[in-house]
A and B are shown apart, each in its own frame.
Chain A
Amino acid sequence: MGYIHSIETMGLVDGPGIRVVVFMQGCPLRCIFCHNPDTWIPNKNLEISTKDLVDRIRKFRPYFEDSGGGVTFSGGEPLYQSEYLADTLKLCKKAGINTCVDTSGTGYDKEYLEEIFKWTDLFILDIKAIEPDNYQKITGKTQDEFNFFKEEVNKHNKDIWLRQVIIPGINDTKEYILKLKEYIKEFNNVKKVELLPYHTLGVPKYDKLGIPYPLKGVEPLSNEKLEELKEILNS
């Protein structure tokens, strides 16, 4: 059995085509910009078996077929429930459903990584920060686990989309983007790089959970700034 927070049946931006996004519970990181703090705690919300979950995903196959879509496991940190994730991925692939894991590359149980790589078509990997000290500031954890996962992804030659959240005052600079451009070269098979603007839509969740919001007072990243940085990245 696994724990999921919710299912968004029409995910159009988390992987190719039309995707069912399964938000899973549990996360080892405490990113300062996290907009899903309600997924941090592991054994909460909906408990569901692999089979029941795949049966629910299967119902949306008419939308997957022509769009090249499928299922995306997100969270929380989907790798946090490694065994469950591996089983579910396998069952999805056996049902002919394209699979994607939206991850920070942490929180995994090494024992199941091999299986997870075997049954995943695409990883969406959130970089968080390039420099180890910044990584720790942003996530609360060292970069070691991420770096190991990075090696493994490269070793398995898996397709990846890289994501970087841009936070005003932290990494919204030309210097950082130029650094990022170099850093990307350390990955094989990067199919897409996305800069995600920091937003404050998650703030009410913190209030509801009674957790202090780490980025209090930081304004969302403006569209203009985002476009400017994208241009630098793509030039």
Chain B
Amino acid sequence: MKEEWNDFIAGRWQKTIDVEDFIRLNYHEYLGDESFLKGCSKKTNKVWSRCQKLLKKEAISGVLDVETTIISGIDNFEPGYIDRSNEVIVGLQTDEPLKRIVNPYGGMRMVNKALEAYGYRLDKEIEEKFTEFRKTHNDGVFDAYTPQVRKCRSAKLLTGLPDAYGRGRLIGDYRRVALYGVDLIIKVKEMDLTRLENNINFATVRAREEVKEQIKALNELKSMASKYGFDISKPARDAKEAIQWTYLAYLAGAKQSNGAATSFGRNTTFFDIYIERDLANGTLKEEDAQELIDQLIIKLRLIRHLRTPEYNELFAGDPTWVTESIGGMLDDNKSLVTKTAFRYLNALDNIGSSAEPNLTILWSAKLPDFFRRYAVSQSIKTHALQFENDDLMRPIYGSDYAISCCVSAMREGKQMQFFGARCNLAKALLYAINAGCDEITGEEIIPGIPKLSSDNLDFNEVIKNYSLVLAKVSDIYCDALTTIHYMHDKYAYESLQMALHDTNVERFMAFGAAGISIVGDSLSAIKYAKVHVNRNEAGVSESFDIEGDFPRYGNDNDNVDKIVIVVVKMFMEYLKKHKLYRNAQPTLSLLTITSNVMYGKNTGATPDGRKAGIPFAPGANPTGGADKNGALASLNSVAKIPYKGVCQDGISNTFNISPSSLGTNDSERADNLMHVLDGYFKQGAQHLNVNVLSREMLEEARENPDKYPNLTIRVSGYAVNFNSLTREQQDEVISRTFHEVM
């Protein structure tokens, strides 16, 4: 037994890489309250105030600095510090805080556009290498895209595709580095290679090359860590090392790749085992434990990628989705809540609320009562938490899954996903009405869709056409993602993050859909009211006349809610028909991030009465103002959307309620929010973002941003600083339904 493992309970985890087994055998569930927590240490205070100054500067210019003479890579940068003597957890992406990395592997076009936007120029030599000698992911994709994919992409039917930037969504099991040390992980990877010596064919050649790349990345990780003064070839010896090494492994991934979402995994229970051991043997005090966590969180708040202004239009507020999954149950009786889960949430008090890391509570009605209460109290206070249904996900993913990005569950180190952005289902519905032509350009995008027999829309005829459109769109969507991920693997492979997965990893292909509330309401209008389409000279829909009432999604009315379910199931059935790249399993999400504004802009008038250009509701939310029977009716409608096997990549719902409607005092508000979450999740719902604030407050913050410098709010699947949203996005957030009772 390794000496670093002294005092740990022995088990399977010592014979094979199995962090889950280590946690199960060694953690201490914590059932108490938050009274043990400590405040912010002097050192943390110093480090954080320095960061706040830098963050303020960054907010003004959009970007604080960019390294233009070195490109992305695990070991390409000199060590960087914020305030070296006061940092207890160290490591920055580059040699300076908030200095961003140029990652040309994704594509040069994006790099140059981003640099230009912020007034930088790439080193000539690098530019030459990547234009003359080295092909990029983006080049590869556009060489191979079919004309059909290009058409759907230009028409904004398929958007946000990761064809010019990192696909992200991978979560390496960074804990492995702390538990086993890098050398052991390399040894296991070398053994995996020996199993790949027979049957040399396309798949095994690719696997061999990838594992070799992974080993290279692990060696670079060791070298990078050594520059900070750590020998991470062996396991971590104490809590500080465990947190430091896990973070360094994560950081290496963020130095190498610029994926949209770079989530951190599920670490609180793991860290807690080390902290408990140190507390027990007297080498650590509670103040020190909190300091380690606070400083780790500071580091996670500084992760940045270089993006173009167009990218920011899609995903506002410079998000990196450093998602950390907290809580959840081990089994039906015991939770995975530890003191460190409390310490993470305490950081919101110690260093203030912030959009990152994206703190995600894996909620269960069976979580310890004190923790449930503390979590909802912090949520009410900071609007920085999201809640996801552990009772729904645990039976599918086991007890060691983590959330990537916003709502995507994956088993840590055992599953990965090919991120697929999303398809605009509302636009697709217009194609069903316009014989496959785009409602804005008039161009035919989907061939073979018959013209409708009448401009007075007939439900059966429209749904028949819609089914045809979705079948064809699913073909094209699969083609696009196959192309993207083939090229991504080839030109921008995330060797470090994949090194911290099992070699035999399970893969998902994560499709997405936007505009589901509009589709539901539109089809309901066609079915229950009379809808007439007005066409322009080109023969495509310009506006719709609606006569009569129709039920809207968000009122717990089965007549329309069932339509929503039929549509997502239909789309998923079509996607399931395809044999996907690397045998990936298809999944689907209803998630828009803040791109619901952009989707709205690019979509013409819809049969639900929505005018052209008006934003979509985010994620799976009902259209703002359509939910007229209060919050629970709205939640019940969303809860009906099936998760398992259908929208298994996540169903995002963002919920705003005014403080006075939630209860008359803090304790009542906490009680009520707990019970709302319980009732919602009991019905099989997956996700809820909670904002306890009033519309008036947001209106005031929009007009006087200086008064609310740190106002964090939850949007679709992540948190964002309200001031970093564009005016348009702020208006959209304010126009959403705020549940309040008079």
Q: How far is the CA of A63 from the CA of B639 in the complex (A)?
A: 13
Residues of B within 8 A of A24 (CB): none
Chain B hits for A12, CB < 8 A: 661-663, 668, 672, 741
> Is B739 an interface residue when CB atoms closer than 8 A count as contact?
yes
Known A59-B556, A62-B683; contact A8-B675, beta-carbon cutoff 8 A: no
Q: How far is the CB of B216 from chain A (nearest CB, A)?
A: 52
Q: Which residues of A contact B629 (CB under 8 A)?
A: 6-9
Nearest B residue (CB) for A64: B679
Check A66–B679 contact: CB distance below 8 A: yes
Q: How far is the CA of A16 from the CA of B657 in the complex (A)?
A: 18
- Within 634-657 of B, Cβ neighbours of A (below 8 Å) are at 634, 636, 657
Does B742 have its Cβ within 8 Å of any Cβ on chain A?
yes
Q: Which of A201-216 contact B (CB under 8 A)?
A: 201-202
> Could you tell me the distance in whole angstroms from the C-beta of A77 to the nearest C-beta in chain B?
17
The smallest beta-carbon distance between B62 and chain A, in angstroms, is 40
> At the interface, is chain A mostly helix, strand, loop or mixed?
mixed
Q: Mark A27-63, 1 if CB is under 8 A from B, else 0.
A: 0000000011000000000000000000010011011
Asked if B95 is at the interface (CB within 8 A of a chain A CB), the reply is no
With a cutoff of 8 Å between Cβ atoms, the chain B residues found around residue A21 in the complex are 630, 741
Rounded to whole angstroms, the CA-CA distance of A11 and B629 in the bound complex is: 11
Interface string of B665-681 (1 = CB under 8 A from A): 00010011001101110
Q: Interface 1/0s, chain A 51-93, versus B by CB < 8 A?
A: 0000010011011111101000000000000000000000000
CB < 8 Å: which of A8, A11, A67 contacts B679? Answer: A67
Which residues does chain B contribute within 8 Å of A11, judged by CB atoms? 630, 741
In the complex, what's the smallest C-beta–C-beta distance from A98 to chain B, in angstroms?
13
User: Is B365 in contact with chain A by the CB < 8 A criterion?
Assistant: yes
Nearest Cβ distance between residue A197 and chain B, in whole angstroms?
10
Please encode chain B, from 622 to 633, with 1 for each CB lying within 8 Å of some chain A CB and 0 for all others. Answer: 000000111111
Contact of A63 among B632, B664, B741, B742 (CB under 8 A): B632
Within 8 A of B (CB), among A2-27: 6-14, 17-18, 20-21
B682 lies within 8 A of chain A by Cβ: yes
CB-contact partner of A60 in B632, B657, B742, under 8 A: B632
Contact check, A62 vs B682: say whether CB atoms are below 8 A apart: yes
| Chain B residues with CB below 8 A from A6, complex form | 628-629
Question: Does A20 lie within 8 Å of B741, measured CB to CB?
Answer: no
Chain A residues with CB under 8 A of B678? 62-63, 66-67
Number of A-B contacts (CB under 8 A): 82
Which residues does chain B contribute within 8 Å of A59, judged by CB atoms? Answer: 556, 636
Q: Are B675 and A63 in contact (CB under 8 A)?
A: yes
Distance to closest chain B CB from A158 (angstroms): 22
Known pairs A10-B630, A67-B672; A18 contacts B664 (CB<8 A): no
Determine how close the nearest CB of chain A comes to the CB of B409; give it in whole angstroms. 22
B741 contacts A8, C-beta separation under 8 Å = yes
Determine whether the beta carbon of A62 is less than 8 Å from that of B663: no
- Asked if B661 contacts A13 (CB within 8 A), the reply is yes
Q: Which chain B residue shows the least CB distance to A194?
A: B664
Q: How many Å from the CB of B367 to the closest CB on chain A?
A: 13
Hey, which chain A residues are within 8 Å of B683, CB to CB? 62
CB distance from B498 to the nearest CB of A (A): 41
Q: Which chain B residues lie closer than 8 Å to A36 at the CB level?
A: 742
The docked-state distance in angstroms from the alpha carbon of A76 to that of B741 is 15
* Chain B residues whose C-beta falls within 8 Å of the C-beta of A13 in the assembled complex: 660-661, 663-664, 741
How far is A13 from B630 in the complex, measured between Cα atoms in Å? 14
Q: Are A18 and B630 in contact (CB under 8 A)?
A: no
Within B262-311, which residues are at the interface with A (CB < 8 Å)?
none
Given A9-B556, A59-B636, is A69 in contact with B739 using a C-beta cutoff of 8 Å? no
CB distance from B581 to the nearest CB of A (A): 40
Residues of chain B with a CB closer than 8 A to A10's CB: 630-632, 657, 661, 676, 739, 741
Complex Cα spacing A66 to B657, Å: 20
Q: Are A67 and B671 in contact (CB under 8 A)?
A: yes
Task: Enumerate chain B residues within 8 angstroms of A62, measured Cβ to Cβ.
Answer: 678-680, 682-683
A56 proximity list for chain B (CB < 8 A): 556
Bound CA span A149–B618, Å:
49
Q: Are A202 and B664 in contact (CB under 8 A)?
A: no
**Chain B 596-638 against A: per-residue CB contact (8 Å), 1 yes, 0 no?**
0000000000000000000000000000000011111110100
- Of B632, B633, B663, B671, chain A has the most CB atoms within 10 Å of the CB of B632
Q: Jot down 7 A-B pairs with beta carbons below 8 A, ordered by A.
A: A6-B628, A7-B629, A8-B630, A12-B668, A13-B741, A56-B556, A62-B682
- Interface of B toward A, CB cutoff 8 Å: 365, 556, 628-634, 636, 657, 660-664, 668, 671-672, 675-676, 678-680, 682-683, 739, 741-742
